Amino acid sequence: MWVAFQVAALYALRMGLNEFPDHQWDAFVAEHLTPEQLSFLEGQYKESPKPPSYYAAAAFGKKTTAREREMDKRAWCRQVVEIEVNLRPGGVAVQRHPQTDYKLLIRWQLDRNGVHRMTKIEINPDEFLSHFPGEGDFFQHGVAFKLRVEGLPGRKQFLRAPRRRPAAGKAPNMDFYRRVLDQYDALVNEGCKAPAIELARRMGEPHSTVRSYIRRGKGYLAEERKEK
């Protein structure tokens, strides 16, 4: 009896939370996704593990409607898009969904074919875990990671941040400054509203430090052009 009540509650909750009216969905897609990205997410949804509530209707012999299935898909896609993916130097991504009390730290590397492979996943709770992430949670984070770094059609591919910092007391490393300015210019061309802040986040450096890199780099390159 108690199990039946829980299943019914899960089904009712799923139907209530998943309502995503057409006009809101259209606005959400227009703001956050290209057609290629939406197609990618829909394909991943078909392969994703389903939560227990997904099977609640079947447990009661109730067939889900096409509309209910569409709402499930929309809710799933929104959850993936809402996951924050902060890329750091050295093949590290720090990810978090706003409604969870933990972050995932993902270590990754490129294989011989240029494909991003996740090599390690760490769970870092704020204080303690209210629940351990399930298979579906990890799957969604994996999709969010790929959506961020894979360079899908219509999306600018992530450029690895420069890692070798200028050495104190030595001649300026012009290659370092060129790479900093190239990535800064790329962010500007993408329409990034705060390119220096985004570059600082990618490099794992304070905003003020990156701004000094940009300022020095422009000065060094201007002097280099004069000498030529």
Using N-to-C axis directions, what is the helix angle for 195-203 and 207-227, rounded to 10°? Answer: 100
> For residues 143 and 93, is the Cβ–Cβ distance under 8 A?
no
The torsion angles phi and psi of 129, rounded to 5 degrees, stand at -80, 125
Whole-number Cα distances in Å, 18 to 82, 193, 220:
15, 32, 55
> For residues 20 and 74, is the Cβ–Cβ distance under 8 A?
yes
Q: Spell out the per-residue pLDDT of the chain, length 228, in tens.
A: 444 444 444 444 444 456 778 989 998 888 888 888 899 999 999 999 976 666 666 666 677 788 888 998 999 999 999 998 887 766 788 899 988 899 999 888 777 777 778 888 999 998 888 888 999 999 999 999 888 876 544 444 444 556 566 666 677 777 788 888 888 887 787 777 888 888 887 777 788 888 998 998 888 877 776 665
- Cβ-Cβ contacts under 8 Å for 50 (sequence gap 6 or more): 136
Tokens found for residue 24: 């809101």
